[in-house]
Structure 1
């Protein structure tokens, strides 16, 4: 952020390298080190598994390009929230931010933190699973540490993102290079009859896509901080194309390496596929993969906090959350109240946290709102063609991604409906119940005003303006 004659504004500190790092660094988290066995288990064959990973990369790329147009037509931070606010209206936007804060972003951060903790403590417990209490304490420590860093300095958070991205890419490159060498030595035996045993149920493909797309989650990170991006009309689409292409290529090659070293059965039975790969290939040096996976998740968690805090910040600025969350620290110039709030919610979700449930329900909820966002882009293309568009995509792209989003929402419940998805849907629409009294009719304004003044003085924060 920066100060001007009007007040505090978001400072444009993120360039093209930082933009690529935030997208790729958030995408490359714990997923590629854990999800391959779940994708393989869901679809049943190496060939179908690789098709899922390639398709997930294509969906992420198309979605990212559509978001790049949205980010240049509506050059404000906040991602889906601000796009829904400008296209679908205040009620739908509030439903999103209510679900985002209470479920989506907190669940995402918690899942990544748990993955980080599992890998970080694993070397101290060889041959046996670490105590869950220790894992959750380590996850809580990571959440608090990275929240503190993001409160102290946006520049430091960006540096962490770049450094951890380098570590991630080096670790994945090691897996790829060793996999290529092993492929020449062992041959392609594990890839013979590649599609034999494929599960053809719709639900199987839906769950496989959920697990694969969890590893690609973060393709929309830069849209949450558009106001902090230098020359967004150029750097936003450029960063999207470079970052997602890099990640997709790495993911495909890493999966080939996993399948070269391990049989499909070994991969499915693994609790942490990267560690199993490391133990088989590196022997006593297998702990390196635990360290790399932990650092990977750490960087992804940092990117999640950086972008997630911005959504609270923008929603509060638009009157959809308490006013204190729209303020910035007067000296450090970071949205610290929004980051503190996000941290508290993530720590609460961590208490009963379960990684598998988090992935499935997060993905179901996320793609529900992505579908609304892609519909908003179609609306702008058809109804508002006169709006300036420094970057545009053919109309067929949002149509294709919208169809994919609808499939991803419906796929897990077509073959075998589960009551949990009904609960999630009801929770999403319960945002309307909260909106009517507290946002529309503004109940308890005096109490909130007094609390805002107290917190403003205590946290040393002041209102921030848009930076367009």
Structure 2
């Protein structure tokens, strides 16, 4: 059996932009502003974050055409560096990065979905967490049922979220036409950069929140084997999606500043709802629904790619065999998706939106840097490898330097013990890798469990689709 190539150009654009436009643009603006301290610096962070996502996406396009396999960073690190680094990448992405991203999106969906029921006060955390957990389970079921269903959901929700952001942009323009005093006050030269925080830690945290809103630029690299004509559709889908998202994000932030004061923006727990209440009045609840739908589409894209990563890692022998199998009729990696769901629910119970985003970004950019270092190595040492798409070497070098900054930024000025815990968790993977992967001890230990789960879940091994 092989996975089908179901993803065309439209599906690729929907998967990338639909994952990028999620909870970030509705949740992160207040955090970006709080970290950098001024509206002007906030807009600069949003613009630079889009530029970094674009350049990084172009670099990943090249490495994706050199190594045309699903699995993203894991498979690239495996093919370039070998088994040991790839195992640590697999553990980190499967147990930390992907579940952290899913949990953060689910929390934002829950906060926006129940915000109208708690007007004027903050929703109870128990209600938020329970709603978020139900959302994760629903998205997992959609992805388990059929690949085509998940892609259709992605396209439909992409249209819905673009409409929602367009409403914010148009509403902001209307407010500027009626009364431009707010936008002039927020963005005039003497005020726009007043109070800007320039510490390394503050800038790093602001970039974490900004880049989280662009998370998803790498999603097609996780499903390359299911992409039609990847050498053509991979770069096209990335460029269309990232240009679209960056332009929308900048316009949306300008709209926020046209309506809200910096103090109102930073104190808001759901900035789009606060904006909607001021601009749309009694119809402000529409923004809650729009933001929840937007984040739902993003969560769907995250599950789509996250399940494939787990499936590929298992196929390469770095995770239990059962996770490398697909349903005999639906051809979806259902065991991997079920496992991803379980881990995401555990992460959801442990943290809040802001801390989850920070730890997600810290660990993710560490491995993005390793992947980009591998691309630089291939360009220098193996220039003759077939590559349908290529970027100048200075681009991966620039993004590698950005990755180094983002990893070091939060621990230079104000180191927190939690980042040490995350690092120790990653390194603890050696306790599994050395005996079970390197020395292959007890190879038949889980055979009976694997057979039972195969029969119970109706799944079988799947060959590479190259």
* TM-score normalised by structure 1 residue count: 0.97
1:33 corresponds, among 1, 17, 26, to: 26
**Structure 1 residue 127, shift from structure 2 partner:** 2.1
Q: How does 1:37-436 map to 2 (within 5 A)?
A: 37-187=30-180, 188-192=184-188, 193=190, 194-436=192-434
Cα deviation per residue 1:391-449 (whole Å; 9 max; x = unaligned)? 01110100000011001111111112222212212222222222001211223332311
* 3-state SS in 2 of match to 1:446: coil
Tell me the CA shift for residue 22 of structure 1: 0.4
Per-residue deviation, 1:71: 0.7
Give RMSD over aligned pairs: 1.0
Measure, in 1, the Cα distance between the counterparts of 2:273 and 2:257. 14
* 1:283-337 residue CA offsets vs partner (Å, 9 max, x unmatched): 1000000000100111011001000000010001100001111111111111111
Distance 1:446 1:377 in 2: 37
Shift of residue 180 of structure 1? 1.4
Tell me, in whole angstroms, the C-alpha distance in 2 between the residues paired with 1:365 and 1:341.
20
Distance 2:305 2:399 in 1: 23
Question: 1:379 Cα deviation (Å)?
Answer: 0.8
* Distance in 1, Cα, partners of 2:45 & 2:58: 20
In structure 2, what is the Cα distance between the partners aligned to 1:162 and 1:394?
A: 32
Q: C-alpha distance in 2, partners of 1:57/1:435?
A: 36
Q: CA separation in 2, counterparts of 1:87 and 1:430?
A: 22
- In 2, Cα distance between equivalents of 1:257 and 1:435: 50
Match of 2:438 in 1: 440
Counterpart of 2:460 in 1: which secondary structure?
A: strand
> C-alpha deviations, 1:192-239, integer Å up to 9, x for none?
221111111111100100010111111101100000110000000010
| Unpaired runs of at least 5, structure 2 | none
Q: Secondary structure at the match of 1:11?
A: coil
Task: Name the SS for the 2:350 alignment partner.
Answer: coil
Per-residue CA deviations over 1:115-138 (Å, capped at 9, x if unaligned) read: 111111122222222222222121
Structure 1: distance between partners of 2:306 and 2:404:
24
Alpha-carbon deviation of 1:189?
A: 2.5
CA apart distance, 1:86: 0.7
The unaligned stretches of length 5 or more in structure 1 are 1-7
**Equivalents in 1 of 2:349, 2:49: separation in Å?**
31
**SS in structure 2 at match of 1:351:** helix
The more displaced of 445-454 and 380-389 is 445-454
For residues 126 and 256 of structure 1, the distance between their equivalents in structure 2, rounded to whole angstroms, comes to 25
- Runs of 4+ with >4 A deviation: none
Length, aligned pairs only: 461
Q: How big is each residue's C-alpha offset from its partner over 1:93-117, in whole Å with a ceiling of 9 and x where there is no partner?
A: 1001111111111111111111111
SS for the counterpart of 2:444 is: helix
Alignment match, 1:5? none
